[in-house]
Structure 1
Amino acid sequence: MQYTEFGRTGLRVSRLGLGGAPLAGDFGPTDEREVELMIHEAIDGGINFVDTAVKYGNGESERRIGNALRGGRRNQIVLTTKAVGNHGDFSYASTIESVEGSLQRLKTDWVDLLQIHDAERTSFEIVMEETLPALEKLREQGKLRFIGISTRRLPLLMQYVQTGRFDSIQFYVRYMLIDHSAKDELLPLTQEYGLGVINGSVLSMGLLADTPAKFLKPDIIQEAQERMEKLRFLRRGEPYGLVEPAMRFSLTQPAIHVTLTGASTREVLRTNMAYCDGQGLAPDDQARVFELFAGQQLFQD
């Protein structure tokens, strides 16, 4: 397992993190006992970063993680969750309520990182005047250590980064083999401000594993398949998809501190853990990937 410093926070994090959405069954049925065993195996294998949210299974992911972390496991990881819930109310009071509920489900008095989820669903003004002050108050009370923000909209993320009031960001489908649009402006900015960076959905919502999410539109799937065809030179032993090169592409990007794996079984987890060995794409292959899709977003803002 590879480790790095999470921006300026001083946290030492595994470059591979465990994502909480599949743990709640958001991408298919999951067995609660299997989830507990997978979390334990992840920790035993060196993963020390677990990311979840109240929206994942309407709190079920948090509940399952909380159960799995009993018996001293909580102190072995960097635990992060997100506010607010499915109701989409980013007000001060709702944010406080969201976090208190998360702490109860996670069976902990505090989390290491609390992120504002889907920041595009409200205005910049509400986040800065309501949501963020609520999190800052909770930080004063010792219920969270650091504050982050999450959205896939790059201009919006850059706006929040430049306030200087956040410790981390999380995006998804913005640094992967077929859309690396975070590379040119956002990642240099996060380095300038010393922010921790979390990368989600490096398999492009299943597209790079040849298992696209059911909600994806046909035109997106078609475009992704055309881009994947141009990446045939990256295929080694995999008959389908580009899972290994996709994981390695993100895991070895110095400006990305944590790449999330959305494993739903221990077998998938073990496979992805094996990719976190510091070995990236061959330099010529990586340069070719950057050249192929420069400035070409797959998912529009």
Structure 2
Amino acid sequence: MEYTTFGRTGLSVSKLGLGGAPLGGVFGPADERGVEKMIHEAIDGGINFIDTAPSYGRGESERRIGQALSEGRRRQVVLASKAVGPGESFDYATTIRSVEESLERLRTDWIDLLQIHDAEQVPYETIVNETLPALEKLRADGKIRFIGISTRILPLLMRYVRLDRFDSIQFYTRYMLIDHTAKDELLPLAAEKGIGVINGSVLGLGLLADTPASFLRPNIVEEAAQRMEQLQFLRKTAPYGLVEPAMRFSLSQQAIHVTLTGAATSEVLRANMAICDGRGLAPEELSRVYALFQGKSLFPAE
């Protein structure tokens, strides 16, 4: 397992993090005992960063993680969660309540990193005047240690980074083999500001694993298939031949501190941990990937 320093926080984090959505059954049934076993296996294998959210399984992901960490494991991990969920108000009081409820489900007195979830849902002014002050109060009270923000909208993330009030950012499907637009402006800005960077969905919501999510629009799936055809030189095995190069592409990017794995089974978890060995794509392969899709976003910018 590889480790790095999470931006200006000083936290030492594993470059591979465990994503909490599958643990809450978001992508299909997840056996509770199996989830606890997998969390313990991840920690034993060197993963020390776990990311979740209240909306993952309507709190089930947080509850299961809290249970798994309750017997002496809490201090072994950097625990990240999020505030507020889809359809909720991002006002001061709701944010405070959201975090308090997360603390209860997670069975902990503190959360290392608390992120504003899907910031594109609400006006910028609401987050600056309501959500962020609530998190800053919770930080002052010792209930959270660091504050982050997540959204897939790169220009919006850059606007928040420039505030100098956030310790981390999280995005998804913006630094992967078939859409690496985050590297052009966002990653250099984050590095300049000392911001911790979390990369989610490096498999493009299943596209790069040949199992696209059912909610993806047909035009996106078609465009992704065309781009993947141009990446045949990276395929080593079938049918999931792009999974390993996709993981290595993110894990070897120095400006990305944590690459999340959404493992639903121990077998997938072990395979992903084996990839976190410090080896990226060959230089000529990386140059070719960058040249193929330079500046070409796969998903809509808004």
Q: Same fold (TM over 0.5)?
A: yes
CA distance in 1, matches of 2:157, 2:88: 18
Aligned partner of 1:147 in structure 2 is 147
Matched, 1:223 2:228: no
Query: What does residue 162 of structure 1 align with?
Result: 162
In structure 2, distance between residues paired with 1:42 and 1:239: 25
Q: Secondary structure at the match of 2:80?
A: strand
What amino acid maps onto 1:288 in structure 2?
A: R
Match of 2:238 in 1: 238
Give how far 1:41 is off.
Answer: 0.1
Matched positions, count = 301
Shift of 1:140: 0.5
Verify: 1:44 aligned to 2:77, yes or no: no
- CA apart distance, 1:238: 3.4
Residues of 2 paired with 1:197 and 1:140: CA distance?
23
Alignment of 1:197-216 (within 5 A): 197-216=197-216
Quote the Cα distance in structure 2 between the aligned partners of 1:286 and 1:200: 20
Say whether the 8 Å CA contact 2:152–2:172 is kept in structure 1.
yes
Mapped contact 1:22–1:263 kept (Cα < 8 A)? yes
CA contact 1:197–1:255 (8 Å) conserved in 2 = yes
Q: Note the aligned Cα RMSD (angstroms).
A: 0.7
- Mapped partners of 1:213, 1:243: distance in 2: 15
Preserved CA contact (<8 Å) 2:210 2:239: no
Query: SS state of the match for residue 128, structure 1?
Result: helix
**In structure 2, what is the equivalent of residue 83 of structure 1?**
83
Kindly provide the amino acid, as one letter, of the partner of residue 137 in structure 2. K
Are the equivalent residues in 2 in contact too, given 1:88–1:121 (CA < 8 A)?
no
Residue 170 of structure 1 aligns with an amino acid whose one-letter code is Q
SS of the aligned residue for 1:170 comes to: strand
Contact 1:54–1:83 (CA under 8 A) maintained in structure 2: yes
**1:13-68 alpha-carbon deviations (Å, 9 max, x no partner):** 00000000000111111100000000000000000000000011111100000001
Query: Which residue of 2 is the match for residue 263 of structure 1?
Result: 263
Aligned to 2:181: 181
Q: Give the % identical residues.
A: 72
SS in 2 for 1:211: coil
Runs of 4+ in 1 over 6 A off after TM superposition: none
Bigger shift: residues 238-247 or 164-173: 238-247
TM-fit CA distance, 1:241? 4.2
C-alpha displacement of 1:121: 0.2
Contact kept in structure 2, 1:24 and 1:30, CA below 8 Å: yes
Contact 1:17 1:260 in 2 (8 A): yes
Please list the CA deviations of residues 208-233 of structure 1 after superposition, one character each: whole Å capped at 9, or x if unmatched.
Answer: 00011111111111110100000000
Instruction: State how far apart, in whole Å, the 1-side matches of 2:99 and 2:240 are.
Output: 40
Which position in structure 1 is the counterpart of 2:70? 70
1:122 aligned partner, one-letter code: V
In 1: Cα distance, 2:126 partner to 2:103 partner? 23
Please give the secondary structure, in 1, of the residue aligned with 2:79. strand
Aligned to 2:109: 109
Q: In the alignment, which residue of structure 2 is the partner of 1:24? A: 24
Q: Which amino acid aligns with 1:225?
A: A
Q: Distance in 2 between matches of 1:256 and 1:271?
A: 20
Q: Which amino acid aligns with 2:263?
A: A
Residue 123 (structure 1) aligns with: 123
Give the C-alpha shift of residue 237 in structure 1.
2.6
What is the distance in 2 between the residues matched to 1:67 and 1:86? 25
**Is residue 2–residue 277 contact of structure 2 (8 Å, CA) maintained in 1?**
yes
Which one-letter code corresponds to 1:244 in the other structure?
A: E
| Alpha-carbon distance in 1 for matches of 2:239, 2:281 | 18
Q: Aligned with 2:184: secondary structure?
A: coil
What CA distance in whole angstroms lies between the structure 2 residues aligned with 1:282 and 1:215? 33
Mapping of residues 282-297 of structure 1, within 5 Å: 282-297=282-297
In structure 1, the residue corresponding to 2:131 is in which secondary structure? helix
- Please tell me whether the aligned partners of residues 51 and 80 of structure 1 are also in contact (alpha carbons under 8 angstroms): yes
Cα distance in 1, alignment partners of residues 132 and 96 from structure 2: 10
In structure 2, the residue corresponding to 1:219 is in which secondary structure? helix
Shift of 1:71: 1.1
Q: Which residue of 2 aligns with 1:277?
A: 277
d(CA) in 2 for partners of 1:227, 1:101: 42
Structure 2 residues without counterparts, runs of 5 or longer: none
